[in-house]
Structure 1
Amino acid sequence: MSHSTVETQDQAERFSGILLMFGSAAAFSTIGLFTRLTSLPLPDVVFIRGLFGAVAIWVVARVFTQQRVTDPVNFRWPALAVAALFTIGMTSLVAAYRVGSVVNVSVVYATVPIMVGIIQVLVLRRRMPSAVFWLCSAGVVVGVAIMSGAGLTGGDVLGMSLALLMTLCVAGVILVSRHNRDTPMLAASGLACLLSSAITAPFVADWTFPPGEFVICALFGIVTLGLGRVFLVLGSSRVPSRDAALIDVLDAPLTPVWTWVFLGLVPSLYGVLGGLVVIAAVLVGVRYNEEETT
């Protein structure tokens, strides 16, 4: 196979990975909307969401990748690590959006690219990311900080702490998926959904869920997990980890869009300006960021 053919294939794979990451950000950005749409207790929400997320992920895995839940490869350490990270991360971020404001929690989550860069340098001993990467990462954080111009609410300290935990988990998922591309991760993601349901099941207060609330929570799982997390796993294995981390934080400026369209919560001027800064930083980073060597 010629060098030009290999290069073309690599470019096609990277392009498809970028599209998948954009899809992940769009799907995951609805978490704030779904969290606001349901009034069920947090354990009930996480339980229902996890069940439907698992079904959606496993359907996708079976139809598009021919993976089976019982395949031995699904129980190797990279897949199990992704399952554990997803379990912790999914639960912590839903709780973060419940106790803190959507925008201020997003400030912490916007540091995913920086977390990825730091872990690569300090833990994985990779070369120092380019200046473009650091500048764009800083731009993302500044943009989301502008979005939170209204300041902190009473629950934001706890909410932002939970969001930091989620941020570390997502950074770990991106890095593990990228550096273990031969290990299928979708079934592991489905397992993570079931684990989150199992963890919260003992805390479900009333098993007679109102039909409307049940449907909302089911869609919560199908959209944010069945689509969002599937796209994240598939996309982050096809693009450099730093690109994946930058694109993943696009959910911050997209989150207020969903709450505006469906709940009539008009974004503030700070929200619009900050969102534009985030989008510009991500697009510049993806376009000009140096390629990784792995």
Structure 2
Amino acid sequence: MADKLNEGRVAIVTGAGQGIGRAHALAFAADGAKVVVNDFDADAAHAVVGEITDAGGSAVAGVADVADWADGAALVETAVKEFGCLDILVNNAGFVRDRMLVAMSEDEWDAVIRVHLKGHFVTLHHAAAYWRAQSKAGEQRAARIINTSSGAGLFGSVGQGNYVAAKAGITALTIQAAAELGGYGVTANAIAPSARTQMTMGAGEAMAAQMAAPADGSFDAMDPANISPLVVWLGSPESSSVSGRVFEVEGGKITVVDAFQRSAEQDKGSQWTPGELGPVVDEILAKSPVPVPVYGAR
């Protein structure tokens, strides 16, 4: 059996009380990492800690609101106090408040943006400050950030405007973090997972049927555990050359998403007039990739 890639390393996994986050926490522990299991639900966090310790791993609960500034700092402090350091931050916490844009309330918008986008920034900020201090003290770590975007954030999803905006922001935040933190030994990447979770199972009968485990015992492409191997690898020292990238993960399929790439262009060399732009826009669009359809669009 190959050596464990994360033996002795320390990871924080947010939203790890259930679903994909729980799978990540278990996978890191199985790969030799010591894990701070974060969740807003104390019972859920402690239950996952129990699973890890019962299997011979090392874990502690970090019960915290990831979008709270002091709680985010406390998560990093917990890792350092309990395990001596921090090497890996996996931002996974989130929830949905789905509604069409014309019916969405201000509170529904703010709540989703807060937990997803601000929640990623808060923990990232405090972890990055720790790693910068380590680097300046001559103790630079092979530090890793793995953020959780979504296919919805990359391509759009009808009825999820708040979630789409938050997840798209997370993708951009990841690219920004990779550029700003590389000098401190930090890489930052994002995943867009597709798996069976409480959020997806609550998204309607059609989605629930698509996400259900196969009755015949064949490969369960929607098992949340399918997402974790890539996250564990991205958290390891072996992934040092990969940063600022986005990966879709579903079942056994991993896809690189080239977000925010420039495509066709036409340069006049002087200012355009509105009347001449119709054919120009038609031409450059014809030379550009066709956008991926928005999920749920007719």
Question: Is the shorter-chain TM-score for this pair beyond 0.5, marking a shared fold?
Answer: no
Under a length normalisation based on structure 2, what TM-score does the superposition of the two structures give? 0.29
The answer to which structure has the higher strand fraction is 2
